[in-house]
Amino acid sequence: MTRRNALAVLVAIVATVVSGFIRTTVVSGFSRTNVASGFSRTNVVSGFSQTQGAQTTIKLYVFDGGTLESDPARYRLTREDVGTTQLSVAAYLIVHPKGVLLWDTGAVPDENWSPTGTPMEQRLVLPDGQERRVTIRTPLNAQLKASGYTPAQVTHLALSHYHWDHTANANAFARATWLVRQNERDAMFADKPLGTATPMTYAALKASKTVIVSVDEHDVFGDGTVILKSAAGHTPGHQVIYVKLARTGGVVLSGDLYHYPQERTMNRLPTFEFNEEQTRAARKAVEDFLARTKSRLWIQHDFNAHAKLKKAPEYYD
């Protein structure tokens, strides 16, 4: 081979390498690297991330679970105190490079109604005989699908607590790893669950792969971006969740630490807490956490604040 021909071959090899890229696919927690031609792309497959090079941005999707008719007297408030008496119902999807976590699952089981495209009022009778009315437009699974996911792609499930308006579709995610505190799990599967629980909506979780959370602050993915924080009192193992987003900043999803924002500003407690002293302590601890992390509190049941949030398939990052 002449020197000129050898140089031409070398140039061709370099050009081929430059035109390619490295594609890293994370599947079932393992990394696979290949060389392929084309351009960089980022996809989400089976709840995990396909990305070139850098870690995928964490995303937070807000799901609308409807509007709950409510009596502010149950929260030691008056109609004049709150202005808007209705409460929002919400669920949230947290998409992280190491997994997809669903936080709470709504108030109305998807299988119990058929959407018409317009708001529909659902009348629910709880096991203790109490009646609740929820007006809902879109099933949880439809919102999940619109965001690009299926129940099978949800790798982690965490409930703020076991009350009926947070567990309605929990059974659909029984294949996910369930993150729960031992005293909350014990209360959920007691012979006679306390409060407004509907065990039929979460019965399948009894056989789920389960992580018992035993520390005050549990780092879900090990990088400080998604943290479950104990906030006991509303129920034995009530918890809130912190999400650190690159552009939005830190957000704490409240569970039922508060329902109306006036509970926070007027220092009022619901009449049906499992332990009022624990709730007071939890509120103080969460306020300290908010200050330490420079985060904002999203009160999940705050009707007016929830109405202003972007809903799936839009997201916060």
pLDDT in tens, 113-158: 999 989 999 999 988 888 999 999 999 999 999 999 999 999 999 9
Both tokens assigned to 24: 């890293």
DSSP label at 298? E
User: Residue 133 pairs with which residues in a beta bridge?
Assistant: 123
**For residue 49, what pLDDT band results from cuts at 50, 70 and 90?**
very low
Residue 97 contacts residue 84 (beta carbons within 8 Å): no
Close Cβ partners of 146 (under 8 Å, ≥ 6 residues apart):
312, 313
Close Cβ partners of 114 (under 8 Å, ≥ 6 residues apart):
none
Q: What count of residues does the chain have?
A: 317
Closest CA relative to residue 124, chosen from 197, 63, 185, 173: 197
User: Residue 157 pairs with which residues in a beta bridge?
Assistant: 102, 178
What's the CA gap between 233 and 275, in Å, rounded? Answer: 5
What's the CA gap between 277 and 232, in Å, rounded? Answer: 10
pLDDT in tens, 50-103: 333 344 799 999 999 999 999 999 999 999 999 999 999 999 999 999 999 999
Domains present along the chain, CATH in parentheses: 3-51 (no CATH), 59-308 (3.60.15.10)
Close Cβ partners of 112 (under 8 Å, ≥ 6 residues apart):
122
pLDDT in tens, 147-175: 999 999 999 999 999 999 999 999 999 99
What's the CA gap between 176 and 75, in Å, rounded? Answer: 34
Residue 296 contacts residue 290 (beta carbons within 8 Å): yes
Closest CA relative to residue 162, chosen from 131, 132, 198, 126: 198
Residue 238 contacts residue 232 (beta carbons within 8 Å): yes
Q: Give the pLDDT of residue 193.
A: 76
Both tokens assigned to 63: 């799901």
Closest CA relative to residue 52, chosen from 20, 99, 82: 20
- 20 or 280, which is more confident? 280
Burial (0-12, 13-18, 19+ Cβ within 10 Å), 309:
middle
What's the CA gap between 118 and 265, in Å, rounded? Answer: 35
DSSP label at 76? T
pLDDT in tens, 201-256: 999 999 999 999 999 999 999 999 999 999 999 999 999 999 999 999 999 999 99
- To the nearest whole number, what is the mean pLDDT of the chain? 86
Quickly list DSSP for 112-162.
G----SS-EEEEEE-TTS-EEEEEESS-HHHHHHHTT--GGG--EEE-S--
